[in-house]
Amino acid sequence: MLRKLFILITIFSIISCAKKVPKGVYSDIQIPSAPDYSKKENWAALPSEIDQADRTPHPSLLDLQAKAEADVFWLHPTTYTKKRGNTLWNAPTNNTKLNKTTDEGSILNQASIFNGAGKVYAPRYRQAHIEAYYTKNKTASKQAFKLAYMDVKSAFEFYLKEYNPINEETRKRRPIIIASHSQGTNHATQLLKDYFDGKELQKNLIAAYLVGMPINRDTFQNIKVCETPEEVNCFCSWRTWKYGHTPKNYSSNNKIAVTNPLTWTTDETPASADLNMGTVLQNFEKNFTEKLVDAKVQKGILWANKPKFRGSIFVTFKNYHIVDLNFYYVNVRENAMTRVEAFLKKNK
């Protein structure tokens, strides 16, 4: 099963580096219809519905959404990677096959991490095609990401109005975790700037888990990097590579924030795999492994030794992006629960 996951990583890497369609100019004619967030089908996860975010990989891990005192707003990574037409830079939210890929990938393996900490809300959005990250057509790229973020904003505003309005008695909203991966992190970062950073809603922010993309320590004016496992009103971030490897354009003098998801600190002390409470790889409910992956902060990135398994000698790639969260599944889950508890205690 581990071998299957690393095959998926290889495929993802090939897709990510390929210069494929869409190749044309960004056309308003080709923009998919905007999602209506009052319709449940435009949410990949809702606490009122049965979905992949409700599942857990082990009987000891429980879905606690029914009694949760906090919410989690999850933004999924890019799952729109294939040819959909020459100028279709954004994915339609009613594409059944694509939604299945999103749900059985990100929602199951990533959003489900947080069902012990809060009620999970995950909107579908007109995500930008993976090529938007690599194309030389910067105008098309910018417009594709702009459209995707418009949906994220719309979904979040609907969430605030309908799912987390101000309580008339307490004059407060429910506390919120913002969590994301890859493209979702790009949008989550902007969402924090627009709605939380120095705004009234910042009082409701438990923490943000901005995973898979480089986030500078000074990205926000008022939201700092989490430095301890219990700190709230802060953000965590990391992107994972094979131990000893530095990615292209890497600079040891960068100001990128990196959290060690085994210790929840930002120092460069190596964390042994003995601290890893559970890695979740393929198959979700049949491959729950403790003490499998270690972690070390290394000046802007996170290093992890390659897990050992039958056939691992043939695995040579060094980018562990697709398993940024899976490698540390249970530790992230437990930490989110810890921060919720700390926030509620602090705001009694």
Task: Read off the pLDDT of each residue in 333-348 and give the average, rounded to a whole number.
Answer: 97
Per the prediction, the chain carries an average pLDDT of 91
Quick one: pLDDT at residue 1? 45
The number of beta carbons lying within 10 Å of the beta carbon of residue 41 is: 12
**For the chain, percent of residues with pLDDT exceeding 70:** 90
pLDDT greater than 70 at residue 87? no
How would you label 160-198 residue by residue, b for 16+ Cβ within 10 Å and e otherwise? beebbeeeeeeeebbbbbbbbbbbbbbbbbebbeebbbe
pLDDT tens per residue, range 89-103: 999 999 999 999 999
Using the predicted structure, report yes or no on whether residue 11 has a pLDDT greater than 60.
no
Counts of helices then strands in the chain (DSSP H, E): 6, 12
Lowest-pLDDT range of 29-33, 127-131, 192-196, 200-204: 29-33
Is residue 192 within a helix (H) or strand (E), and if so which, with residue range?
A: helix 183-195
Q: Which of 49, 146, 165, 110 is nearest to 284 (CA)?
A: 110
Is the pLDDT at 18 greater than 50? The verdict is no
- The residue ranges of every structural domain in the chain are 2-239+335-346
Residue 47 and residue 68: Cα distance in Å, rounded? Answer: 10
The SS3 call for residue 158 is helix
Beta strands 71-75; 43-45: pairing state:
unpaired
Output the six-digit token pair for 250: 């890497």
pLDDT score of 12: 44
pLDDT at 19 over 70: no
CA 314 from centre of chain: 28
pLDDT computed for residue 144 by the predictor: 95
How far apart, in whole angstroms, are the C-alpha atoms of residue 201 and residue 25? 38
Picking from 107, 82, 90, the residue whose alpha carbon sits closest to that of residue 11 is 82
What is the reported pLDDT for 286?
72
Residue 142: CB partners within 8 Å, gap ≥ 6?
A: none
Residue 323 main-chain phi, psi, to 5 deg: -115, 25
Q: How far apart are CA 265 and CA 275, in angstroms?
A: 13
Alpha carbons 276 and 293: distance in angstroms, whole number = 7
DSSP state of 90: B
d(CA 304, CA 192): 28
What is the structure's pLDDT at 283? Answer: 78
The answer on pLDDT for 24 being more than 80 is no
